[in-house]
Amino acid sequence: MTEPYAVPVPKGYRVGVWEVREPIATGAFGSVYTARRTERSPDLPDSAALKFLPTGTNTPRQLSHLRELVEREVTLYRRLERPRLLRMYDTLVVDDPGRPVLDGATVLVLEKAEGSLSVLLSAAPRPDAGPALLAQICEGLAQLHAAGWVHGDLKPANVLLMADGSARLGDFNMAAELEGTHAYTPAFSTPDYTPPELLWAEIGDRGRRIRPSADVWAFGVLAHLVLTGAFPLPGATATARRDAATSYARGTDELRLSPELPDAWREIVRDCLARTHADRITTEPLLRRVEAAAGTGDPSRLPRLPRLLRRRRRLPAAVAGVVAAAALAYGVSVLTDDGSTHAGSDGSGVSAARAAAQARYGASELRTDQGVPVQYRRLIVDSAHACSEPDVTPALIAAMLKSESDFDPNLSDPGKQEFGIARWTPAILRWWMRDDGVPASATPTPPLSPSVSVPAMGRYLCYIDNHLKSGLPGDKRVLVSAGYRTSVEKVNDTGGVPPKYRDYCARVAHYLKEYAPSGKK
Amino acid sequence: MYSIIVVPPPTTEDDRQQIRLAPGERLSFGRAPGSGLPIPHDGVSRRAGEIVAQGTFWILSNLSARQTYVVENPEGAGEHIKVGPGRLDAPVPFEFSRIVLPAAGDLLPVEVWAPRHDYLDDDAEPDGEATAAAFSVDRTKRYFAVLAALCESRLRGDPHAPLPTVDQVVDRLRPAWPAASRTSVQWNIDYLAVKLRLKPGPESADPGPRLNGKKESLVSLALRFDVVREDDLVVLSGSASRAAR
C-alpha cells in the first residue's frame, strides 16, 4: 500500500549534527529515516535512525494523543537501557518556521538497525534463525518486564534486527510502566497480537488496563508465526482471526496449533496463548523454556540476514568514538573510576534513592553483601544479560573481575600487556569491544575503562562458552574463566583446566560461590 | 468480549435489562418461558426466533409459522430488511436495528445494537498488521453528531468550558436533525457509553479523582483519543455535510 509519509523529510535535511538520508519506514505515528553524522561528536555514532514525530503546533495532524505517545516512548528510552532494547542517543526538536510540517517535530535519535523482523519474514518465511531470534525477543521482554514496563505492541515490525543479526525490541509508543499488576496504555493495538481479554476491553479515563501477560500472548502469536509462517488462530483476515480469538477465549473453540510447530515450541506457544491472562506463563520461566527450546548460544545458529538486508559495513572512525558510545550507554556514574558513588556527592534524596537502586541492581543474581563495588553492579549485570548463555552470569563476571584485578580499574601491567579492571590485552580487546561484533579498526590504548572492559568481557565469555567442547569435567563456568585466562583451544586440548591456571580457577570458583545468591547455581 | 447487545421490548416494569452476546452466542426469543428472552405476549409464537452474534454483526432466524419480521434501521431513512417465516440465519448489516414483531395488532420492538462495527480509520491500513485505534466510529451516524456537539466548546479552544446540557445539544443539532429530542439525544449518549466502552460508574472503579457523569467521561475520552477532531465539527452544520463518506 502506498501511503504518504506521516512526516515527509527531504533527503539532505539537517537536524542538529545529523543529515537525513533515505527513508526507512513510516507508521501511524511517525516516520523513520537513516541519517549521517556531519560534525565531529565523540558521543554519537556515524549513522543513526531518526524518528520524526509530528508534535509541532502547526503540523496538520495536531493530535493530543500523539504528544502522549511520544512522551511514553522518550520516557522509556531515557529510563531503560538494556542490551535487548533499542538504544536512544538523543532527542531533538526541529526549529524551522519555514517548514510548518516539520517545525516543532520531535526527533528521536536511535540506534540504527538493519531491518525488522517483519521485513525478514516477508523475504524469508520461517527463517532458520527463528528460534535464536525468538530467544532474543523473549530476553528483551524479560528485561522490559523485570524493569516494570509492558511493551503493549509486540509484533514483527517492532522487532529490529541489528547488523550482527541479533534482535532488539523497539517502538515503545504503547509501552507503559506497571502500577502494581497493571499499566495503562493508550487505546491502540494491533489486532492479531492483542490478547482476547483486551480486544473489546473497557476503557477508563486513563486508557486501557494492560498486564505483562498481554506481551506474553503477543509473543506466543509471534513465535507461531516465525516458526510456521502462519498465525496460530485460524482465519483469512484479521477480523476472522479476532473472532476466532474471542471464541477460543470463551471456551467454545479449542486451540489448534500448526502441526509444523516443533514439540518443545508447541508447549511454549500453548502456555503463552492460555485463554485467560492468569493462566499464561510469566516472563521469567518463559525465557528459560524458550532458551532451552532454542538451544541458544551456538553461533552457527545466529540469525543470518538475507542478502537484501545486508549493507556494507562501515568501520568506526575512531576507537575513541566507540569508547564514548559505550560509556554513554551505561551512564556516567561508572566512569567515575575513583570508587566513589553518586550518593553523597550532592546529598540529595533523589541521588540517594538512585544510589540505593544501584546498590540493589540485579540483587537476585548477584549478592549485595559481598563487597562487589556498587558502581560496577549495573555494568556487570547488564553485560552478563547481554549473553544468552546460562553460564555467563553476573556472579561469574564479578568473580572474574575480583580474581583478575580486585576490581581495580587502574590496573596496569605493561610487562604482560594487561590493563584495567578485566586485565584486557589491548590487541585482544579490539576484537570484543564493539557490541555489534565488528572488530574495532584500531587497537585501543590504555587506560581501558570499565565501561569498555566489562561488556567486552561478557561478549568474550559468551564466545568461549559456545566453543568449549561438551563433556569437559568440572563446572562449566570455571572452564569458561580458564578459557578467558588462556584460550578456548588450550582448555579443549587439555580436556579441562590446564594445571598452570588451577590456582586462578580456584579463586574464581571461590568468589562464584560468594557472589551467587543461595538457591541460584 | 460481547459484540451484540439486545434490548428487550418495553414492559410495564421499567427494567429493560440489556442482554450482551459474545460472538457465537445465541439468544432465543418467544412466548415460551424457557426462552433466553421471554416475550409474554399472546400474539407472539412460543418459539418466535433466534438471534446469533456473529463476530461484529448478527444473524436472525424467524422460527414462526406465518409472521414476517421487519428489521429496521432507525437511522436509515426507511432502510429495512424483511425476514420471512421459516427463514434461518438472515444476516443483518445495520449498526442499530429494531426487530418489529407483529403481535395481534401490537408491534413489539426488540432493539439490537452491533457496536463493534468497524470503520476505516483515517490513517491506518486495514490489514491487522497496523496498530489500530480501539475506537471505530461512523462519522455519519447521529451518535457522532451528539458527541461532536458535546465536545464542541472544548474543541474550539476552551479546554474547561462547561459541557452543554441535553437541551442545549438538542437545540444545537436541530438544524441538521429536525426530529432531535431530549429522549433521542439521551439515547445516543447511552449508546455512546456502550460504543466507546466507557467503564461502568464509580461504584466499581478504583478510588481517586475521577470524572462524574457519563457526559463528562465521554467527552474526556473522545478528546483524549481524538475520536472527534476540530474538523469533524462540520457534522453540526447539517445539510450537505452529512453526505455519506
Residue after which a domain boundary falls, among A308, A329, A355: A308
Give the number of domains in chain B.
Answer: 2
The number of C-beta contacts closer than 8 angstroms across A and B is: 107
Q: What is the pLDDT of residues A452-487, one digit of tens each?
A: 899 999 988 988 888 888 888 888 899 999 999 888
Residue after which a domain boundary falls, among B63, B98, B113: B113
* CATH number where A177 lies: 1.10.510.10
* CATH number where A101 lies: 3.30.200.20
Of A111-115, A228-232, B116-120, the range with the highest mean pLDDT is A228-232
Is residue A66 located within the same domain as residue A123?
no
Asked if the structure places residue B37 within a domain, the reply is yes
Task: Name which of A237-246, A327-336, B52-61, B85-94 the model is least confident about.
Answer: A327-336
Asked if the structure places residue B51 within a domain, the reply is yes
Instruction: Write out chain B residues lying below 8 Å of A248, CB-based.
Output: none
Matching residue, cell 549513522: A47
Q: What is the pLDDT of residues A40-95, one digit of tens each?
A: 887 788 899 998 887 765 444 445 666 777 777 888 888 888 889 988 888 888 88
Asked if the structure places residue A396 within a domain, the reply is yes
Band (pLDDT 50/70/90 cuts) for residue A308 is very low
Asked if the structure places residue A7 within a domain, the reply is no
Residue A140 pLDDT: 94
Nearest by CB: A63 against B22, B135, B226: B226
Asked if the structure places residue A345 within a domain, the reply is yes
Asked if the structure places residue B98 within a domain, the reply is yes
Asked if the structure places residue B120 within a domain, the reply is no
Runs of H (alpha helix) within A370-501:
374-385, 394-405, 426-432, 450-467, 476-485, 488-494
Q: What is the pLDDT of residues A274-288, one digit of tens each?
A: 999 899 999 999 999
Asked if the structure places residue A388 within a domain, the reply is yes
Asked if the structure places residue A365 within a domain, the reply is yes
Give the long-range contacts of residues A471-479, CB within 8 A, separation 24 or more. Answer: A472/A496, A475/A509, A475/A512, A476/A391, A477/A391, A477/A392, A477/A393, A477/A396, A477/A508, A477/A512, A478/A505, A478/A508, A478/A509, A478/A512
HEC string of A180-198 equals CCEEEECCEECHHHCCHHH
Nearest by CB: B223 against A64, A173, A191: A64
For A192-196, what is the mean pLDDT? 91
Asked if the structure places residue B66 within a domain, the reply is yes
Is residue A414 located within the same domain as residue A361?
yes
Cell of B16: 429493560
Q: Which residue of A has its CA nearest to B219?
A: A205
Asked if the structure places residue B201 within a domain, the reply is yes
Of A40-49, A200-209, A264-273, A511-520, the range with the highest mean pLDDT is A264-273
Burial class (CB in 10 A: 0-12, 13-18, 19+), A415: exposed
Instruction: Please give the residue range of the domain that contains residue B62.
Output: 4-113
Is residue B98 located within the same domain as residue B146?
no
Is residue A447 located within the same domain as residue A486?
yes
Residues in chain B predicted with pLDDT less than 70, given as ranges, are 12-16, 121-134, 199-212, 238-245
Q: What's the pTM value of the predicted model, to 2 decimals? A: 0.62
Band (pLDDT 50/70/90 cuts) for residue A224 is very high
Nearest by CB: B22 against A188, A192, A246: A246
Residue after which a domain boundary falls, among A87, A110, A133: A110
Is residue A334 located within the same domain as residue A444?
yes
Q: Which residues of B touch A (CB under 8 A)?
A: 1-3, 22-25, 55-56, 116, 118, 123-135, 196-200, 205, 210-211, 217, 220-221, 223-226, 229
Tell me the pLDDT of chain B averaged across its residues.
81
Strand partners, A185: A208
Is residue A298 located within the same domain as residue A338?
no
Q: Which residue of A has its CA nearest to B1?
A: A200
Give the number of domains in chain A.
Answer: 3
Is residue B91 located within the same domain as residue B146?
no
Is residue A418 located within the same domain as residue A333?
yes
Is residue A347 located within the same domain as residue A398?
yes
- Give the span between the Cα atoms of A95 and A107, in whole angstroms: 11
- Give the span between the Cα atoms of A175 and A65, in whole angstroms: 14
Tell me the pLDDT of chain A averaged across its residues.
80
- Give the span between the Cα atoms of B27 and B48, in whole angstroms: 11
Instruction: Please give the residue range of the domain that contains residue A388.
Output: 321-515
Residue after which a domain boundary falls, among A71, A88, A110: A110
For A237-255, what is the mean pLDDT? 87
* CATH number where B60 lies: 2.60.200.20
* CA-to-CA separations, B29 to A262, A485, B110, in angstroms, rounded: 47, 80, 10
